[in-house]
Chain A
Amino acid sequence: MYRLNTFSKSTLLKNIQSTYLKNYYTSCLVIAEHDNKNLLSGTLNTITAATKLGATNISVLVAGSGCNGVAETASKVKGVNNVVCVDHASLEHSLAETISPIIVQLQNKENISHILTPASNFGKNFLPRVAALLDVAAISEITQIKDADTFQRPIYAGNAIATVKSSDKIKCGTVRTTAFDKAPTEGGAGKVVSGNDWAVPLVEKALNDTHIKWESSEIVKSERPELTSARVVVSGGRGMKNGENFKMLEELADTLGGAVGASRAAVDSGFVSNDLQVGQTGKIVAPELYIAVGISGAIQHLAGMKDSKVIVAVNKDPEAPIFQVADIGLVADLFKAVPELNEAIKKAK
């Protein structure tokens, strides 16, 4: 009895120690992407990535203007332990200059080992600035977490996968959201704390130092699901000939409940706006169904969609490289095939 008791005591001590060390070394801060009202879904994928680190402590930073509701939402996400909310008018548009010093200060205060954020234009904009201020490397577009120091990321437009190991004290990275599932929006019981008292002076100093000013924005309104998280994406390329013809793709997308995307050629020709571009330099998507219409399938375009579950290609050129990756390829004139396909799917549903 006595022996057993000592044994369990020492095991207990070891457990406490290892938990403590684990906590210390893998405390992850996720920077939330939001529009001050809603938590954007890429944040949920990033929280899942954080759990893969074996992090037992996951904090979320919500920096914005009038963003308390977002902080509440974030605190309920499964796996989240704490939410730090910083509310200041100048944080409305997530400027890198103002958000970066907040993150650096949080790291100093809390001894955070990992800083993750979605690899969206939001995350790509500030994360490297934070890494430089902390004097550590940044790891872009993480697609897999092997362990707390080892990550995979695509290079050369996704034509090679690099495994990288960091010996930096702090690991900073952006997460390719399509490579991780979304964390459930319920089941968490994180504590929301305001960081205003220490963060607001930092924001004001940053504004003074850099004289950065947000002037205006033009957001393209759409009723359709957001491109990077849509279940179905219907994309058009140069073969669409003009912007007017994209209506055909919009109709097909609506039938399937999907989003509309485009190749660089279609964007450069002015058929659609550039925020629809799928590819190495545009958005990375991995929907269940990707329909490529009039897209030849250049390396740079494939980089943005080749992790889609099922790829359908409609192209009149049987030699188009898109057919090498398509699960279902149809050699046909798109102007005839797309409306027919739309009707056939409507009927089949």
Chain B
Amino acid sequence: MKILVPIKRVVDYAVKIRVKSDKSGVETANVKMSMNPFDEIAVEEAIRLKEKGIAKEIAAVSMGPKQSQETIRTAIAMGADTGIHVETDKELQPLAVAKLLQKLVETEKPQLIILGKQAIDDDCNQTAQMLAGLLNWPQATFASKVDIKDDKVHVTREIDGGLETLSMKLPAIVSCDLRLNEPRYAKLQNIMKSKKAQLNVLTPEKLGVDTTSHLSTVSVEEPPKRKGGVKVENIDQVVEGLKKNALI
């Protein structure tokens, strides 16, 4: 079985972002970028399935500018077998990404696609569901446990109020929640090897996908600042504060 793992290069989760003064977006020049944390979990899960002998091959795919290749190499250093880069300088929204992935499914023929549940930059939480819709495949989003037996995948999902388990016949789509696993660090030796890996570089044009979005960003602004920052000395003052705000 082949697993396709789509990954995204995003501003590192620990970076305190800055909104551009012309309100056109968030500053990404000279900012530390890394693999979207949820996608690391997706890569890790695919590797574990390979280590169990369930998966034969893992293809990592990323879409975006040239630098996305670093993210693909990170996935290869972790244990992915091959890398595909869909190169474009245009901003891709989830629907475009899903359409590009749909095309790749035709040639790569994966039985399972594992994605992160959301990218921490756009916070959309859409791509896995959109891809499942386009392919008419079953989907299990927000997975915290994945079990594969024969041609069936059993997934435990995080839902409001608890957990639920679904079973799907392959081919299927899984999106990862935080608690699915603990991603490994790549070994230095593997990082060196990944630098030489041959990537399959494509473009949206080559794949015949129109990536134009009908959703445009009018402006990006900073959220209103909270006043906050008042410290009190003791419990009585806390209670007083609650009273003043009519909370008790």
Inter-subunit contact B220/A155 (CB<8 Å): yes
Measured between beta carbons, the chain A residues less than 8 angstroms from B128 are 128
Query: Which residue in chain A gives the minimum CB-CB distance to B170?
Result: A211
Interface of A is mostly: mixed
Q: Bits for B22-56, please: 1 = Cβ < 8 Å to A, else 0.
A: 00001000000000001000000000000000000
Inter-subunit contact A159/B17 (CB<8 Å): yes
| A329 and B158 contact, Cβ closer than 8 Å, known pairs A126-B129, A132-B129, A138-B94 | no
Q: Which of A18-26, A160-168, A180-188 contacts B (4 or more CB under 8 A)?
A: A160-168
**28 A-B contacts, Cβ less than 8 Å apart?**
A128-B129, A131-B130, A137-B93, A137-B213, A138-B126, A140-B124, A155-B123, A156-B121, A159-B223, A161-B223, A162-B219, A164-B215, A164-B218, A166-B215, A210-B137, A214-B165, A215-B165, A273-B162, A274-B144, A281-B38, A300-B13, A306-B223, A310-B241, A312-B238, A327-B230, A329-B232, A330-B231, A341-B239
Output the least CB separation between A277 and chain B (Å).
8
Q: Which of A68-76, A93-101, A189-197, A241-249 contacts B (4 or more CB under 8 A)?
A: A93-101
A11 within 8 A of B: no
Query: Which residue in chain A gives the minimum CB-CB distance to B127?
Result: A128
Measured between beta carbons, the chain A residues less than 8 angstroms from B139 are 96-97, 125, 129
A325 within 8 A of B: yes
List A49-81 residues whose CB lies under 8 Å from chain B.
none
| A275 and B178 contact, Cβ closer than 8 Å, known pairs A133-B133, A156-B17 | no
List A287-311 residues whose CB lies under 8 Å from chain B.
288-289, 299-300, 306, 309-311
Measured between beta carbons, the chain A residues less than 8 angstroms from B123 are 140-141, 154-157, 280
Interface size on A, residues (CB 8 A): 91
Further pairs besides A96-B139, A128-B129: 14, Cβ < 8 Å: A137-B93, A137-B95, A138-B94, A155-B220, A156-B17, A156-B120, A159-B222, A161-B223, A165-B215, A275-B159, A306-B223, A311-B228, A330-B234, A337-B235
Name the residue among B141, B164, B235 with the largest chain A CB count within 10 angstroms. Answer: B235
B98 within 8 A of A: yes
Q: Looking at the complex, which one of A160, A210, A267, A281 makes contact with B221 (CB distance below 8 Å)?
A: A160
C-alpha spacing A183/B217, complex, angstroms: 29
Measured between beta carbons, the chain B residues less than 8 angstroms from A210 are 136-138, 168-169
B187 within 8 A of A: no
C-alpha spacing A122/B158, complex, angstroms: 10
Inter-subunit contact A160/B239 (CB<8 Å): no
C-alpha spacing A243/B115, complex, angstroms: 31
C-alpha spacing A213/B154, complex, angstroms: 9
Output the least CB separation between A104 and chain B (Å).
9
